[in-house]
Amino acid sequence: MSNYIPSDFERAIARTKSYVGPAIAVFLLYSLFWLPGFVANIAYLGEARRMGQTAGQPASGAGCLWLTLLYGIMIPILAIVGAVIAYVVANRVAGGSPFSP
């Protein structure tokens, strides 16, 4: 950790920075394109962490970014689970064993 001590002005600016808007933008970006949304979410989380360290308190809206990250992680997991369920159901309807080639 560095010995840098932020000025009162930098602390005041960091305390007023909100990440609710970027969290909404990331949420919409996840809906359109998953990978750029994930990268933007990680970048904003890093910035929010640095601002929180400068301000001496968690940045406003950082929790929203964590929720969008959770949402972003759940998208591929749910897609894989849904694909497996669809595969098993389709094979059952066709009369085959769900795991036979």
Range of the domain at 65: 8-73
> For every residue of 23-51, which 3-state class applies, written as one string?
HHHHHHHHHHCHHHHHHHHHHHHHHHHHH
User: Is 94 inside a domain boundary?
Assistant: no
Structurally, the chain folds into a number of domains equal to 1
More confident residue, 101 or 47: 47
Q: Give the pLDDT of residue 100.
A: 59
User: Is 90 inside a domain boundary?
Assistant: no
User: Is 35 inside a domain boundary?
Assistant: yes
Residue 55 has pLDDT above 90, yes or no: no
User: Is 38 inside a domain boundary?
Assistant: yes
User: Is 80 inside a domain boundary?
Assistant: no
* Stretch among 20-24, 74-78, 87-91 having the lowest mean pLDDT: 87-91
User: Is 37 inside a domain boundary?
Assistant: yes
- The Cβ-side half-sphere exposure at 82, using a 13 Å CA radius, reads 6
